[in-house]
Structure 1
Amino acid sequence: MIFMENYDIIIVGAGPAGLTAGMYAGRQNSKTLIIDRGFAGGLGLEVPLMQNYPGFDLISGMELIQKMKAQTENYCEIKENETIQSIEKTEDGFLLKTRTSPLLMSEESDEIREFKAKAIILATGASHRHLNVPGEAEFLGRGVAYCATCDGMFFIDRTVLMVGGGNSAAQEALYLKNLGCNVKLVHRRDQLRCEHHLQKALEEKEIEVIWNATVEEIKGDMVVESVRLNRNGQEEDYKTDGVFIAIGDDPSNEIAKELGIDLDEDGYIITDKRQATSVEHVYSAGDITGGVKQWVVACGEGAVAAISAYNDLNL
């Protein structure tokens, strides 16, 4: 069975950029829909604590997403767990076909829904980058994790390694330490890339950094028991109960490719200052556009994209 619905603006992705775009689009009296293949929030749900979001001295990503989602639902519809099967440009806009995601189901739904839109905003974000080493996939959920907020509680009073050297790795290492984990940071260089205040916090919490080291293999039987580290050219086995990985993200650009949108050399969507892409009436915002990957930047881009879409359709 196929259901058809018409909208002025459809936003793909319900992270900070998508939710903000939905709020701004809806407030301009545009019939707006947000579609996300998972739950609203995306990687924003995994941020343990933020101290740099305006208006909040301290807030978790999950709490902020809950507030943003509730606010956005006053102005537009949000469909979670909805996978886009196809998207195409038509003479009068865009046609999207979707199915319910199999996230909470044993298999994919057979029910197809079709949506028409005059404009599209892509806020598809990014996904966790993998180490691509032996044992990483095999031990996922059995000692290998990408989200300290999600899985940290399972490692209280146990030894874990946090792989990475940027803001996310530092924030998550601090979170694990505060939970009661014995955490060490593994970084491939001799200097961290995270902000100075995070480096200072790591020192104050006495979180050891294993410098100039890369993970070559994750080892164990039923669960993670150790990793093989290459440290300054020398390989050694290091005992650990868990490996948390925070080494960056890859752009979720499948839909952009399907629409033929111009991407940069790293696969991020290229936009102008109005957040417009190379395809008419398609805009983009948030981490999928690369640049400064900060929550407040994503929100700003989402607002600009929504205003630009509205203006192009109505002025």
Structure 2
Amino acid sequence: MYDLAVVGGGPAGLSAAVQARVRGKSVLIVSGDVRDNALYKAQRVDNYLGLPETGGGALLERFRRHAQALGAQWKSGRVLNILPSGGTFYLGIGSDMTQARALVLATGVVRTRKYPGEEAHLGRGVSYCATCDGMLYRGRAVAVVGKSADAPEEANYLQSIGCRVTYVSDRVPEGLEAAIPFVKAAKLEITGEAGVEALRADGRMLPCAGVFILRPAMALADLLPDLALKDGYIAVDRNMATNLPGVFAAGDCTGLPLQVSKAVGEGQVAGHRAAEYLDQL
């Protein structure tokens, strides 16, 4: 079990990890593909104090090396759910589970408006994890809705275990196996009676038994259902504490302005206060 789990490997999460490590806490950072991070896509950052004219990717790499040099552990993956129980937080990371005594949520801005039919078919053909549920669909047709940078890799995995995959996205994928059909579409709907029967993609019906929706992150309301939100962002106090004991948040997920300096500062407070919380347990 870790003292602190940090959900998100951007500036806020890495700043929180650094603060917790210098206070002697064991830290696990869980992060998806770096290519999904908004800062990574910035060609140049001119307004971060002391490091002007630095590429966003280079800045992120410096932050990551700092946190790992202090002993923070790193796990690549997508946190699908978090279950608080008896003072412990159980994090479902893909098909794995890990535990922590406190959390810092640094997920960035998560825009995950559900598709028509998605919620109704959850657990009845809709999945968010290829490695978790892929074996259930061997020999059957599935659709992969690719919204994350690593979605083509997960589609390739499904194909490799015997699923008949169709990849659907509003942009051309990179790294998708040539044998996997690609359908470019933006307007999607999941249909079926007892379970998933098809994905409607810009009006075209794609018969399938399962739909894997691969986003960079889960919606905050799905991740921790009792987490208080305000205007779509996580509600926090000046200590970056949420309404849930032991859960802190920092960075873009707490609201405007969406700036690196704000994220790093909030991460510092969140990591510090999380360490103080742990000391009081």
What TM-score results when the alignment is normalised by the length of structure 1?
0.54
Closer, same or farther: CA 295–92 of 1 in aligned 2, 3 Å? same
**One-letter amino acid of the structure 2 residue matched with residue 280 of structure 1:** P
Identify unmatched segments of 5+ residues in structure 2: 114-167, 174-182, 185-216
The answer to whether 1:261 aligns with 2:227 is yes
Deviation at 1:252, TM superposition (A): 6.0
**Structure-2 separation of matches of 1:17 and 1:120:** 13
CA contact (8 A) 1:253 1:267 kept: no
What SS does structure 2 have at the residue aligned with 1:126? coil
The answer to whether 1:121 aligns with 2:104 is yes
**Structure-2 separation of matches of 1:36 and 1:257:** 14
**Structure-2 separation of matches of 1:40 and 1:70:** 17
Relative contact order: is structure 1 or structure 2 higher (C-alpha 8 Å, sep ≥ 6)?
2
Aligned residues: 186
The answer to whether 1:78 aligns with 2:74 is yes
**One-letter amino acid of the structure 1 residue matched with residue 109 of structure 2:** A
The answer to whether 1:291 aligns with 2:256 is yes
**One-letter amino acid of the structure 2 residue matched with residue 267 of structure 1:** G
- The 5-angstrom pairing of residues 85-100 of structure 1 reads 85-99=80-94
Identity %: 28
**Structure-1 separation of matches of 2:35 and 2:238:** 26
Aligned to 1:38: 33
| RMSD over equivalenced CA pairs, Å | 2.8
CA contact (8 A) 1:14 1:40 kept: no
**Structure-2 separation of matches of 1:94 and 1:287:** 22
Aligned to 1:14: 9
Closer, same or farther: CA 276–40 of 1 in aligned 2, 3 Å? farther
- The 5-angstrom pairing of residues 201-280 of structure 1 reads 253-254=219-220, 258-264=224-230, 266-280=231-245
**Structure-1 separation of matches of 2:222 and 2:112:** 19
Deviation at 1:51, TM superposition (A): 1.0
Larger Rg: 1
What SS does structure 1 have at the residue aligned with 2:34? coil
CA contact (8 A) 1:16 1:41 kept: no
Identify unmatched segments of 5+ residues in structure 1: 1-5, 100-111, 131-136, 143-221, 224-250
Deviation at 1:271, TM superposition (A): 0.1
Closer, same or farther: CA 301–138 of 1 in aligned 2, 3 Å? closer
Q: Deviations over 1:93-122 (max 9, x none)?
A: 2111222xxxxxxxxxxxx32211110100
Q: Deviations over 1:227-253 (max 9, x none)?
A: xxxxxxxxxxxxxxxxxxxxxxxx964
**Structure-2 separation of matches of 1:55 and 1:63:** 14
Deviation at 1:306, TM superposition (A): 0.5
What SS does structure 2 have at the residue aligned with 1:296? helix
**One-letter amino acid of the structure 1 residue matched with residue 100 of structure 2:** A
**Structure-2 separation of matches of 1:26 and 1:41:** 26
Q: Deviations over 1:200-220 (max 9, x none)?
A: xxxxxxxxxxxxxxxxxxxxx
- The 5-angstrom pairing of residues 116-195 of structure 1 reads 116-127=99-110, 140-141=171-172
**Structure-2 separation of matches of 1:260 and 1:63:** 36
The answer to whether 1:302 aligns with 2:267 is yes
Aligned to 2:191: none
Deviation at 1:86, TM superposition (A): 2.4
CA contact (8 A) 2:43 2:56 kept: yes
**Structure-2 separation of matches of 1:129 and 1:57:** 32
Q: Deviations over 1:66-95 (max 9, x none)?
A: 111111101201112x12232101112211
**Structure-1 separation of matches of 2:35 and 2:266:** 18
Q: Deviations over 1:243-301 (max 9, x none)?
A: xxxxxxxx96436652411101x310000000000001100000000121110100000
Aligned to 1:208: none
CA contact (8 A) 1:50 1:61 kept: yes
Aligned to 1:60: 55
Deviation at 1:37, TM superposition (A): 2.5
Closer, same or farther: CA 40–15 of 1 in aligned 2, 3 Å? farther
**Structure-1 separation of matches of 2:92 and 2:233:** 24
